[in-house]
Amino acid sequence: MALVEPALATLAPGGQRAAAGSGPEAAAAQQGSAASLAAARMGYLHCGPSGAGHFVKMVHNGIEYGLMAAYAEGLNLLAHADAGLTAGAADAETAPLSHPQFFQYQLDLAAITEVWRHGSIISSRLLDLTAGALADDGKLERFAGHVSDSGEGRWTVEAAIEVGVPAAVLSAALYARFESRGRAEFANKVLSAMRLGFGGHIERSA
């Protein structure tokens, strides 16, 4: 590790080793203590034996799924905060808004995500990217909403099952991606069929 650490420290986002010759971070790096908070503060870390770093990165990406889903769900709620402005159908098939007067907000999501970037507890690199996308196109019309998964979320959930730890948020975020690709269509048809059978409920279009 000591052999490659100078290169890692130079390439790391912090770059303190290349930029400074003193201070606790530089001293720690000079001693070869990659598995330390000092190295982590520079942006790199030796996590453990072979495979440990890949495992940590896998879980990092699984967490990313959950964070992305939380932003998406929250912004979707804000996007529909004007539901009270539209008179909905009043019939046995549609639950009406209990208090439509509380849902008459037409919100500027680009401005909201931008203000969240500055001093908000939920600020992050993901929020930066979201704010930029909404600034370019507030309706995100060039996206169809079919969200792929490249494997890390699945592997993270599988690892959680293997070791027997709950990962409800990460699992839900992964399944939401499956649903976005139309993989829940048949299940929804089954639900409609059951409602028709037990109560004569006629399926309504969206």
Active site residues: 57, 64
**Residue 141 and residue 134 in contact, taking contact as beta carbons nearer than 8 Å:** no
Across the strands, what pairs with 91?
94
- The DSSP secondary-structure symbol of 183 reads T
Token pair listed for 60: 């990092």
Q: Which residues pair with 94 in a beta bridge?
A: 91
DSSP calls for 88-156: ---BTTBPPPS-GGG------HHHHHHHHTTT-TT--HHHHHHHHHHHH-TT-TT--------SHHHHH
DSSP state for residue 32 in the 8-state scheme:
T
Helix (H, G, I), strand (E, B) or coil at 185: helix
What does the radius of gyration of the chain's CA atoms come to, in whole angstroms? Answer: 24
